[in-house]
Amino acid sequence: MSNISYKDAGVDIDAGNAFVEAIKNDVKSTFDKNVIGGIGSFAGAYALPSGYKEPVILSATDGVGTKLKIAIESGRLGSVGIDLVAMCVNDLICNMGTPMFFLDYYATGKLIPQNAKDVVAGIAEGCRRAECALVGGETAEMPGMYSEEDFDLAGFAVGIAERDEMDTVSNVREGQILIALPSSGVHSNGYSLVRKLFFDKLGMNLNTEFEGRPLVETLLEPTRIYVKEFKANKKYIKALAHITGGGIVENLPRVLPEGIKAIVNKNAIRTLPIFDFMGKYIDEAEMYRAFNMGVGMIWVVENEDVDSVLANTDGYVIGLLAEGQKGVELV
């Protein structure tokens, strides 16, 4: 009986090494002055930024969900890395955390270096947009766990905040104004329902024309990253909510204290064509629970600061806070 190798078992060590070499420039492009060392060590190292009185380290982890399946089926892998970063760093800023660094986990049945390189290039672009460093990651080739070209992603972001700034709920009170920051599209939630509607119920495909371009381009529009806007307007923000799975009705209450309700004017929401289209086939209540409806983030600000925020962002007013049972009232 002849000897067998790791490659015979489906794991190509040489391909993994080639992949690491191929991504070095993209990874280094995200480094800032706090990154210690380079690529290839056992752990990423990052020096704590100075200037904090009582620093607290924050962490967030997420994936891309079944949006990833659309990327794999279409062969368009360049943007899901941006989604991965966005889903993590947008959560961090909701606790007043400034993202510092990011790590990724890429698991696949068979490592195809070019595919993995495209994904990591997207992750690096996401990190540049979020102004954080990509300090490490893990690529796992697991034949038998995944079919050959399938893969999954997980991301991990770490940020820093002042301890006395983190309790945003205590800042929230009656009369404050809700400002919506537009989403770029469906972002990275609700894709099981998206796929069920477009492909199973309506019989459409990735190349079906939608709003003058292939449907796949709308569905793979990367999740917007709000870190730069947060940094520029932090002094005005009393609280903020990332509108992900569960929509406005389930995410906005997370920043409200007991006895305060959010009154959201549905007519003020600038919905995108993709949501208007899906709303023809999905009940309105379900739409508002499954999707962001064109609102990627909601900021709570004082009335006197509204004009400053609107002048400095593409945000717009969608409602206010009032006394009442904690929750969201859509009017």
pLDDT tens, residue by residue, 227-237: 999 999 999 99
Q: Considering the chain, what percentage of its residues have pLDDT values greater than 90? A: 79
Radius of gyration from C-alpha coordinates of the chain: 21
Nearest in space to 297 (alpha carbons), one of 192, 178, 191:
178
3-state per-residue secondary structure call for 168-217: HHHHCCCCCEEEEEECCCCCCCCHHHHHHHHHHHCCCCCCCEECCEEHHH
Q: In this predicted structure, what is the pLDDT of residue 4?
A: 63
pLDDT tens, residue by residue, 152-182: 999 999 999 999 999 999 999 999 999 999 9
Q: Which two tokens stand for residue 36?
A: 């210690």
- Distance CA(154)–CA(105), nearest Å, equals 5
> For the chain, which residues make up each domain, given as ranges?
13-166, 169-330
CATH of 169-330, one of 3.50.30.40, 1.10.645.10, 3.90.650.10, 3.30.1280.10: 3.90.650.10
pLDDT tens, residue by residue, 56-79: 999 999 999 999 999 999 999 999
Q: Which residue has the tokens 């400095």?
A: 312
- Distance CA(164)–CA(169), nearest Å, equals 12
Superfamily covering domain 13-166: PurM-like, N-terminal domain (3.30.1330.10)
Q: In this predicted structure, what is the pLDDT of residue 53?
A: 94
CA angle 244, 248, 252 (to 5 degrees): 95
Q: In this predicted structure, what is the pLDDT of residue 179?
A: 98
What's the predicted TM-score (pTM) here? 0.93
pLDDT tens, residue by residue, 273-282: 999 999 999 9
- Distance CA(180)–CA(165), nearest Å, equals 22
pLDDT tens, residue by residue, 192-214: 999 999 999 999 999 999 999 99
